[in-house]
Each structure stands twice: as structure tokens, then as C-alpha cells.
Amino acid sequence: GNKISHSHRVTKRMWHPNIQKIKVNVDNTVKRINVCTKCLKAGKVNKSS
């Protein structure tokens, strides 16, 4: 897709995922990793409490 400005200049649109740095349980140890919010909502990552 393209990003179109008010003066109708056209540039290639960049898409960036919504990355959050959260604490996660990995092999019974707590690590801080970068996770996208789509993965958090889908339950693919277990947040540490």
C-alpha cells in the first residue's frame, strides 16, 4: 500500500507491529522480552506475575 499526503505525494507505507517489553516465564525463569500485542491477546505468551 501507499501513504498519500495532503498534497498527494505517494510513498511506500511502512507497517510496524505494536511491540511491548514484558516479563515472561521461560523454563521457570523470568525474562524480559519484546512481544507484539497480537501475541499477548492470542495468549501465545505467559506473562509472569
Reference 30, options 10, 17, 48; nearest CA is 48
Is 1 strand, coil or helix?
Answer: coil
Please, which residues have CB within 8 angstroms of residue 12's CB and are 6 or more apart in sequence? 2, 3
Where does the chain have alpha helices with state H?
A: 37-42
pLDDT surpasses 80 at 49: no
**CATH number for the domain running over 17-49:** 2.30.170.40
As a whole number of Å, the end-to-end CA separation of the chain is 40
Mind listing the pLDDT tens digit for each residue in 1-46?
Answer: 899 999 999 999 999 999 999 999 988 899 999 999 999 999 999 8
